[in-house]
Amino acid sequence: MANTKLRFLTGFFLLCVSSKLMAQDSTSIFRFSIEDLMNLSVEISTGMKSSTTSDEAPAAVFVITREDMDHMGFTTLGEALNFVPGFTVGKSIQSGQQKNIYVRGATQSEGILFLYNGQRLNDGISGGAVAFNPDYMLDNMKQIEVVRGPVSSLYGANAFVAVVNLIPFRPNEVKQSTFSALVGLRGNLYLHGSQKLYLFPDASAIVYASVYGLNDAISQRNVHQEVLDTTSGNFVPRNFSGQRNIEKTLVYNFGTTLTYKKIEIEGYYNHSQSSNHWGSGTTFKRETNPNEHIATNFRIGSRYENDFLKKHHFTALASFASHEAENVYKLENFRTVLYPGFDPPGRVSIFESDLGTSTVNIESFAELNFRKGHQTVVGFNLQKDFIYTIDNSTGILDKDGDRIFDTVTLDDTLDTVFKKESRGVYAAFLQHTWSPWKVLNFTGGLRFDRYSDFGNSINPRVTAVYRPSDQWTLKGMYGTAFRAPTFIETNQSDFSVIGGKRLIQNPNLKPETIQTIEFQVTSKPFPNLLLSLNVFHNDVQKVIRQVDIPGVPTQSKWKNAGSRDWEGVEAGIRYSPKNWISISGNYSYTDSEDEKIADKEDPVFGIPRHALNFAVNLNQDKFNLNVNGNSRFGWNDVPALETPNVRFERIDLIPYTILNARFMAKNIWQTLTINLDVRNVLNQKYYFTDDRIFVPQGIAGNSRQIRLGAQYTF
């Protein structure tokens, strides 16, 4: 009997093994017919450390291709991200051309992890990647991949609400030389050139340089306040109207990407200089720009990739980035929030700072494919952040209590310094994907991070992807993520205060945490039609925010306090009824709640509940016409606020629709292409700001821009 069983099992075993042997040939891509090949999808990296398509990736992935950028006229990353479901991007009112990026219910850019070719860009001081780079120019970019939702299980800190991966061109993907130029109204200037170089066999490089300039002014909303009259003890109205927001920006960068066999080395230098004024002062009439923001950013990174043992893949990354920024904020802007009694002589600086930070990052991971239906990604990550330059001063601190502002260099004696600090991070991660059947796969991941300041963070993520047919994909995702406290929050005391309060740093902050559950359904009823629907719920705990200190009315402090949650729906469509026409669009709805203290919930103010993006593209051999736009409406208004000295009114935020158009005449002479862009065709003004604090928060957009451009490649 036992022998019978043994024989049966042996036979079964051999059958299974032989099926494996027979499967060898059938796995080759050369088995496909030419018609099959036409329907195969090209892999994208998806920011998930393994290659797949957006359909099969264990996350909600949105891809902006080079073709999208060219057709829609995106020259900077901010313009492109505004088209991603759940994203709203505007200029930061605080610093001019820097970007504020809202994602779903989150209003802080440090919740987004930016990657350049898979390597971290976020700095230690701000936690984000737009403080030292006002924006990223796209001429050198092949693709932008956006993962929506938390992915700390692979990337660690800041992969909190989204991951944005910028994929630059490699030398073998570009032509010998490319030159492009755009000039337009309002000082609009955009120049880019790239050249491919052959260094020696197997080694080639791209060198590139870009310049971007803008000089724009938009009307600012009127401000109404009531200010305490110290003589009568009554509040008296104060109104500001006819103010304009002036912004002037010049950015240049240059860089290179070099490849030698399996090694890539890329580096760039970016310099940006912007000046603006918030224009909300009582007496300020001149259209000069007292606020200045100068930032430089140098980065060098390397990447080595290779297959090993035929079916596994190894990647090693290393990068060094150095950021420096100078900020100067002048007095006129502060008068709206300054409590009466302080009447400084002339213009003085509210705040001047010169900050520098650098980051070293080393990461290595392997994609292991030991058995069919199983894929494992395992890796480690080391990171060190430093603050290397600190120079802060203020002209509005009443040091000696005589109610006259003094100019003071901030130092340790005042406990207001940005302390020189460093932070080390050690992390290991593991992700496994199991495909028990052709139509179903499960992915589970876990990452352990150890920070030298606040300790450990462990973040899991599980995903199930079900593809019952080529027409349908269903995904369910659950995960947690964290946002590490920034050096600003842990080390800097500043004047980001209402009514003159000082904000005190907190070195004992813990990271914010987020928990997400998300479902996605995508359908392709026809090959030329894609429909998608996402439903998500995010729950944020230990929110890092400014909290009043009981008994100390002149101070507030960074603390982990309260929670936030948001939920919403995102729907998208891409449809190409004919070769020459394509229609795409997406709609997002987000409902958010902020619970600062227990059982008291308010909407997260200053974000839109509804966002609509759309694009229609007509493409012929000789021309391309694209009309695209975005609409934001149903904003969560900024509530009224009363301080001992000033009563601020409720700020109602108005809906807007921005319409853009681009016409391209292609190859009119050899490869010369001419573009005509009109951005913000309807000349919609939007300037949403909460100017009740030291520097106004919120976003603004540009006025109508008309640009004429050309591109020539050879």
Residues 425-454 that bind another protein (CB under 8 A): 435-438, 441
Work out whether 530 is an interface residue with another protein (CB under 8 A): yes
- Pick the closer one to another protein by CB: 205 or 646: 205
Q: Per CB under 8 A, which of residues 346..385 are in contact with another protein?
A: 371-373
Q: Which amino acid is at 265?
A: I
- Pick the closer one to another protein by CB: 373 or 553: 373
Among 55, 332, 489, 494, binds another protein (CB under 8 A): 55
Among 308, 380, 580, 714, binds another protein (CB under 8 A): 714
Produce one character per residue of 388-402: b if its CB has 16 or more CB atoms within 10 Å, e if not.
Answer: ebbebbbbbbeeeee
β-sheet with 162-168: strand ranges across = 60-65, 141-148, 162-168, 112-116, 119-120
DSSP calls for 111-153:
GEEEEETTEE---TTTSSSSSS-S--B-TTEEEEEEEES--HH
- Pick the closer one to another protein by CB: 105 or 118: 118
Work out whether 532 is an interface residue with another protein (CB under 8 A): yes
Q: Per CB under 8 A, which of residues 646..685 are in contact with another protein?
A: 667, 671
- Pick the closer one to another protein by CB: 106 or 368: 368
- Pick the closer one to another protein by CB: 203 or 360: 203
Smallest distance, another protein to C-beta of residue 61, A: 10
Among 515, 576, 631, 643, binds another protein (CB under 8 A): 576
Among 294, 366, 378, 529, binds another protein (CB under 8 A): 529
Among 455, 460, 507, 527, binds another protein (CB under 8 A): 527
Q: Per CB under 8 A, which of residues 299..318 are in contact with another protein?
A: 307
Among 48, 49, 52, 245, binds another protein (CB under 8 A): 52
- Pick the closer one to another protein by CB: 122 or 165: 165
379 within 8 A of 332, measured Cβ to Cβ: no
CA distances from 586 to 27, 115, 611 (A): 37, 24, 8
Question: Total number of residues binding another protein (CB under 8 A)?
Answer: 77
When computed from its CA atoms, the radius of gyration of the chain, rounded to whole angstroms, is: 27
Q: Which amino acid is at 662?
A: R
Two structure tokens written together for 323: 């950021």
Choose the binding region for another protein from 51-59, 228-236, 446-454, 592-600 (rule: CB under 8 A).
51-59
Choose the binding region for another protein from 171-179, 334-342, 511-519, 641-649 (rule: CB under 8 A).
171-179
Torsional sign, CA 133, 172, 300, 251: negative
- Pick the closer one to another protein by CB: 26 or 413: 26
Name which of 304, 275, 422, 408 is nearest 366 in CA terms.
304
Choose the binding region for another protein from 167-175, 444-452, 647-655, 699-707 (rule: CB under 8 A).
167-175
Among 407, 456, 508, 528, binds another protein (CB under 8 A): 528
Smallest distance, another protein to C-beta of residue 369, A: 10
Q: 């930070």: which residue's tokens?
A: 357
Smallest distance, another protein to C-beta of residue 135, A: 25
β-sheet with 641-642: strand ranges across = 235-240, 223-228, 646-648, 641-642
Smallest distance, another protein to C-beta of residue 228, A: 58
Smallest distance, another protein to C-beta of residue 628, A: 15
- Pick the closer one to another protein by CB: 55 or 567: 55
- Pick the closer one to another protein by CB: 185 or 197: 197
Side-chain half-sphere CA neighbours of 395 within 13 A: 15
Smallest distance, another protein to C-beta of residue 40, A: 5
Name which of 237, 93, 97 is nearest 687 in CA terms.
93
Q: 């309002």: which residue's tokens?
A: 186
Work out whether 597 is an interface residue with another protein (CB under 8 A): no
Smallest distance, another protein to C-beta of residue 22, A: 10
CA distances from 232 to 228, 235, 265, 282, 312 (A): 8, 9, 68, 21, 78
Work out whether 620 is an interface residue with another protein (CB under 8 A): no
Residue 345: φ, ψ to 5°: -80, 120
Strands (E) across 491-599 are located at 502-504, 512-526, 529-541, 544-549, 552-560, 563-578, 581-597
3-state SS, residue 508:
coil
Smallest distance, another protein to C-beta of residue 310, A: 9
Smallest distance, another protein to C-beta of residue 700, A: 32
User: How many of the other CB atoms lie within 10 Å of CB of 539?
Assistant: 15
Q: Per CB under 8 A, which of residues 60..89 are in contact with another protein?
A: 63, 65, 67-68
For residues 645 and 647, give the distance between their C-alpha atoms in angstroms, rounded to a whole number: 7
For residues 556 and 559, give the distance between their C-alpha atoms in angstroms, rounded to a whole number: 9
Q: What are residue 429's DSSP bridge partners?
A: 379, 447
> How many degrees, rounded to 5, is the angle at CA 356 between CA 351 and CA 362?
150
Choose the binding region for another protein from 3-11, 186-194, 486-494, 654-662 (rule: CB under 8 A).
3-11
Work out whether 12 is an interface residue with another protein (CB under 8 A): yes
Choose the binding region for another protein from 194-202, 343-351, 478-486, 702-710 (rule: CB under 8 A).
194-202
Q: 């291709």: which residue's tokens?
A: 65
Residue 16: φ, ψ to 5°: -65, -40
Among 80, 101, 103, 174, binds another protein (CB under 8 A): 174
94 within 8 A of 695, measured Cβ to Cβ: yes
